[in-house]
Structure 1
Amino acid sequence: MSTTEPLLSAGSNDGEAWKKQKQKSSGEGRRRVSIDEALSAHAGEFGRWQLRHFVLVSAAWALEALHTMVIIFADREPATSCAGAGAVCGDPCAGAGAAGWEWAGGAAASTVAEWGLVCGERYKVGLAQAVFFAGCMIGAGVFGHLSDSFLGRKGSLQVVCVLNAAFGLLTALAPTYWAYAALRLLTGFSTGSVGVLAFVLATEPVGPARRGAAGMSAFYFFSGGIAALAGVAALLPRSWRLLYAATSLPSLVFAVAVVPFVSESPRWYLVRRRPDDALRVVRAIAAANGRAVPEDLTLKLDDEDEDDDGGAAAAAAAAASTSSGSIVDVFRSPTTRVRLVLSVLINLLASVVYYGLSLNVVNLKTNLYVTVVVNSLAEMPAYLLTALLLDRFGRKPLAIGTMLLSGVFCTAGSLIPGAGTMRLARMACGVVGIFGMAATYNLLFIYTAELFPTVVRNAALGCTAQAAQMGAIVAPLVVVLGERLPFAVFGASGIVGGLLVFYLPETMNKPLYDTMAGLEEGEKSVIK
């Protein structure tokens, strides 16, 4: 008898152990599930781990608000006063100090006062805002790609926060207007992707049933950041340079004290062919949520078969195509190509309306600090309403409804004459318009993220963010067209955008696909 025969005996414990070891090393006998399935069945969709992770990461939205909206206070036009008299008077076009005139609060109160950006130089205020959003448009595409490839969601977020802090602090030292404008361009380059990166990193570890509501909650941080900015600006009303320093330092603190203590997305690990790291994160989620992941469970991409002997062959064959995606990959697929074109147009139109209506706030003859706080708080009910209805009616019907609501009321505002008490009626139309578009603008983040697979999600979001930034550049040009015509443009934009949403698919309770092949297979099964 061979000396190895007892090891192969069916009744031998040693033989059974050897078989189990062989199965473990080859991947046999292990259950392979997607991340969504692992979260729903084992780790928990939104427990203690996801709550902590979500709050820490979403705080980056407040940083984006600080860098974006600081221009409201830094570039404001202060009042003028008679030297020694203290009464507000005169025309600043003659220059600060000419014929006894001076800026209330001193020349350091704002960039307008320091560099005389009035009358013939007034265009430079709008130019600085335009170049900032142009930087956002470029940066959203660059960092959207980097976060999908080797840098990752977490690494990209840390890089942009460090750059934000550096460029913001340098802006506080700008010696001339043109240096200031150049630094605003660079700040926009790093700021434009902060929200997208934070949104994706915060929501990818959330289960499908909770992802929509969690995603909508992220935008409270942006509104909160605007309110906080008003408070900081009120404490530093006489120095735009100190204001830039004060709004830039939080980004550095976030990059050093927060980002190192949050996890990279398990979905990014999986598409980068690091399944052990992805499973490690899922197990950490389960442990923090008081649950457990079975020992025989492994993770798979959605284009791999469950019985594919560990998926080794598929992983090797697809590694190059799935480990990093780009916008080129989005256009190669007819499914994602149509989705991207529609998403770009819808986001651009929504941005024109949202930023266009928001800019009207600065024309109100009220306390600027109070107005900004009230404006930021007014958007919050839209987030709450959308979060409550998102998983009941779906992304598509809600996006259509909120865009059409905004478009119809803006159109009505364009038909109202601007005399006397009718101005209040037009203002009311504008309030409803911005309420509807605030809901749409933020809903689009969730909707767009769910339309594209993990491998190209940030690249696609970066592209739609670029379109939104383009809309932000166009919005000020629409505002200067008069009193009624801007409302007509906003109304048409809202209605056309709402109609375009009809051509997008519903994503509620659908899988969050990891790969292009997985998405294509999923669409084929729906058609069948």
Structure 2
Amino acid sequence: MEGTYKSQEHHLYSALKILIKKSWAFKRLLATMVVGFGVGMSYYGMPLGLGNLSYNLYLSVALNALSNSLSSPILFFLIGKMKRKRSLVGWALLSGTCSVASVFVRLKEMQMVLELLSFFSIGIIYGVLMIYTLELFPTCVRNSAVSITRETVLFGGLLAPLLVALGKKNGFLSYGVFGVTISVCGLFAAWMPETKGRVLFDTMEEEERNDQEVNNSVNCA
């Protein structure tokens, strides 16, 4: 039993060492972490900040729950057709724009519509990010990469309550900051390779050979 535990612990730290040592893996991991941070701040912060809006609190909570519930089944049907990189950037910009706009709109119904659209987009981004992270890394480090990305999502959520509290006096410090953060963080997806329609690789060596072939083809072009 003790030997099994030590073996698992060694495997964990070996995967982390590989993710940090390999430059291409570290760049991908860093990009997913940045996107995950922005997702976490908005995903956990926007529902907490509903009390700062002028709309009915109970109805807005119910609508947000419905919006979040719809994002997953809709993503199930869309993910096979969506380019991962473009999807993350596009949905992030849409979410950020709607979130910032909701601060300046005075009509409470329109404010709620913008918030719902922004939160729905965050749900889509969250799902795409997890799938994208699975596709970006080979089997030997995939679990570790997904776990680290997931932790950055939670870390982003830690800062959300502080911004919600500040947003009681200035709305831009909550939904405005959420919008700017997800827009900026989402742009980091542009530095990651596209994985839709690409064969997944099981080992680091296969992944490195594939990256080298892609680089060579780009250079030749």
- Contact kept, 8 Å, 2:47 with 2:61, in 1: the verdict is no
CA distance in 2, matches of 1:449, 1:358: 27
Q: Does the alignment pair 1:497 with 2:182?
A: no
Task: Give the structure 1 partner of residue 8 of structure 2.
Answer: 150
| Structure having greater relative contact order (Cα 8 Å, sep ≥ 6) | 2
Return the letter of the residue paired with 1:385: I
Task: Give the structure 2 partner of residue 524 of structure 1.
Answer: 212
Q: Compute the displacement of 1:520 (Å).
A: 0.5
Task: Give the structure 2 partner of residue 349 of structure 1.
Answer: 38
Give CA-to-partner distance per residue, 1:63-96, whole Å, 9 cap, x none.
xxxxxxxxxxxxxxxxxxxxxxxxxxxxxxxxxx
Task: Give the structure 1 partner of residue 158 of structure 2.
Answer: 473
- Contact kept, 8 Å, 2:12 with 2:144, in 1: the verdict is no
Quickly say closer, same or farther: Cα 1:378–1:514, change in 2 above 3 A. same
Return the letter of the residue paired with 1:347: G
Quickly say closer, same or farther: Cα 1:378–1:391, change in 2 above 3 A. same
Q: What does 1:88-237 align with in structure 2 at a 5 Å threshold? A: 150=8
Q: Does the alignment pair 1:386 with 2:71?
A: no
Give the total of aligned pairs: 206
Task: Give the structure 2 partner of residue 96 of structure 1.
Answer: none
Task: Give the structure 1 partner of residue 58 of structure 2.
Answer: 366
Return the letter of the residue paired with 1:514: D
- Equivalent in 422, 431, 447 of residue 132 of structure 2: 447
- Equivalent in 113, 119, 122 of residue 434 of structure 1: 119
Q: Structure 1 stretches (4+) deviating beyond 4 angstroms?
A: 361-364
| Bigger CA radius of gyration | 1
SS, match of residue 492 in structure 1: helix
- Equivalent in 159, 167, 180 of residue 482 of structure 1: 167
CA distance in 2, matches of 1:328, 1:423: 50
Backbone CA RMSD of aligned residues: 2.6
- Equivalent in 144, 166, 191 of residue 459 of structure 1: 144
- Contact kept, 8 Å, 1:390 with 1:398, in 2: the verdict is no
CA distance in 1, matches of 2:57, 2:78: 36
Q: Compute the displacement of 1:323 (Å).
A: 10
Q: If the length of structure 2 is used for normalisation, what is the TM-score?
A: 0.83
Quickly say closer, same or farther: Cα 1:412–1:518, change in 2 above 3 A. same
Q: Does the alignment pair 1:400 with 2:89?
A: yes
- Contact kept, 8 Å, 1:323 with 1:455, in 2: the verdict is no
Which structure 1 residue ranges, 5 or more long, are not aligned? 1-145, 152-319
- Contact kept, 8 Å, 2:38 with 2:186, in 1: the verdict is no
Higher helix share: 2
Q: Compute the displacement of 1:516 (Å).
A: 1.4
CA distance in 2, matches of 1:328, 1:335: 13
Q: Compute the displacement of 1:371 (Å).
A: 4.2
Quickly say closer, same or farther: Cα 1:361–1:415, change in 2 above 3 A. closer
SS, match of residue 393 in structure 1: coil
Q: Compute the displacement of 1:498 (Å).
A: 2.4
Q: If the length of structure 1 is used for normalisation, what is the TM-score?
A: 0.36
Quickly say closer, same or farther: Cα 1:346–1:514, change in 2 above 3 A. same
- Contact kept, 8 Å, 2:39 with 2:153, in 1: the verdict is yes
CA distance in 2, matches of 1:406, 1:323: 35
SS, match of residue 338 in structure 1: helix
CA distance in 2, matches of 1:396, 1:384: 20
Q: Compute the displacement of 1:382 (Å).
A: 2.1
Q: Compute the displacement of 1:352 (Å).
A: 0.4
Quickly say closer, same or farther: Cα 1:392–1:366, change in 2 above 3 A. closer
- Contact kept, 8 Å, 1:410 with 1:487, in 2: the verdict is yes
Which structure 2 residue ranges, 5 or more long, are not aligned? 217-221
Give CA-to-partner distance per residue, 1:204-246, whole Å, 9 cap, x none.
xxxxxxxxxxxxxxxxxxxxxxxxxxxxxxxxxxxxxxxxxxx
- Equivalent in 64, 77, 80 of residue 375 of structure 1: 64
Q: Compute the displacement of 1:365 (Å).
A: 3.8
Percent identity between the aligned chains? 28
- Contact kept, 8 Å, 1:343 with 1:464, in 2: the verdict is yes
Q: Compute the displacement of 1:359 (Å).
A: 1.4
